[in-house]
Structure 1
Amino acid sequence: MIATFFCITGLLVTRWIYLGHFPLSDLYESLIFLSWSFSIIHIVPYLKKHKNHLSALTAPSAIFTQGFATSGLLTEIHQSEILVPALQSQWLMMHVSMMVLGYAALLCGSLLSVALLVITFRQDIKNYYKAQFIQQLDHWSYRVISLGFLFLTIGILSGTVWANEAWGSYWNWDPKKTWAFITWTIFAIYLHTRTNKNLQVENSAIVASMGFLIIFICYFGVNLLGIGLHSYGSFTFSSNL
């Protein structure tokens, strides 16, 4: 994973130098950055020598995302094009990088919550070990989702400033913005339920599991449909988040 991190970093830096702008202007580049984000999340606990279950999710996620990005499915958008005027802004790096980092952390945290629910309902695990697993999964899920929520919040706020510069309005109910707001709301509910001592951890895990599906709709849904002001992300156009 360390070698993967440096290879993806080299790819992003090379593409940045070659294009002359931060490589986050289309779906292909955002997937590469998403894979890089997974590798970062994987490496940080490893360097701190914290043993956890997160690595079982981050490593396959990074490899799968990188494999999908470089597969033949995205051949048509591998070629870089000149940025449209709306993307020629200093906010490109701030907004999109925060959003993708947020997606990566939230996806990892959500998967940990899914694992928590699976272990909760399994009958072949002794109660003592089950309690340990649940406690560890809940701990790491909460920490990673909290970090992802922070990134997502910064990304949405910077996006509103960018939208005002590009389109003259801080907010409109564009499909991408709407689903980003729904994603933010779902994980805000998760953080609230997680910190409520009167509720069991399974309740917050269910909310986080719902968030996993919402992120996929937010990240890929609008891109596939190619509608709204963020239609750069469709498979038939130069894409963007």
Structure 2
Amino acid sequence: MKDSENCFRCPDLEFPNKRRNQCIPKKEDFLSYTTDVISIVLSSISVLFLLITFLILGVFIKYRDSPIVRANNRSLSFLLLVSIKLSFLSVFLFLGRPGDITCRLRNITYGIAFSIAVSSLLAKTIMVYIAFKSTKPGSSWGKWMGVKLSKSVVLVFSSIQIIICITWLAISPPFQELDIHTYPGTIIIQCNEGSALGFYSVIGYMGLLAAVSFVLAFLARSLPDSFNEAKYI
């Protein structure tokens, strides 16, 4: 009230009106599916690429017994396409009102799905490189050829990421955080990553896999046309 000697501060989740005689709830702010342009753009792009991946997977399934699909390591190609789809779907975990469960799933799901995809690319690159090396006379690379090697590469490199994610969740998992100080009258609902070391370990490991895959593809860039898959990788 005017000229009052007894004033009180509004609670953290409320702020005073213009007349400063009443506390009103603060507005909540987060990446909404319907109101934020960036969310609409990201979700549209994810859906578009998801449909393209579905189309490619359908082509692979239809011609799964053809020589070119079988020679391209059929099971590894299926795993790669499925993991790419999961990566696109994980974008939707970053949109909408975040909660404790969503915060824990978003980076974990994307990290594991992306690691499986890059591990599949890495396995395909290794197999292409070995296939070329084994054609040389007297080469001992031929003993490494086979489906077991590609599956082992994907399993080992993906398992490392899974272990990192489990450790992160066990020690200090992400959680919902309310930022009430950045903007007056607004509550920013966001995710706190919990352990910064866990977050950067997941991101750093994905970057490491991508870098190794790129280096191997660069080394195999000069293979003959029969082995040119590495060029596109």
Query: Which TM-score bucket, shorter chain as reference?
Result: 0.3 to 0.5
Larger Rg: 2
Structure richer in strand, relative to its length? 2
Structure richer in helix, relative to its length? 1
TM-score, length basis structure 1? 0.36
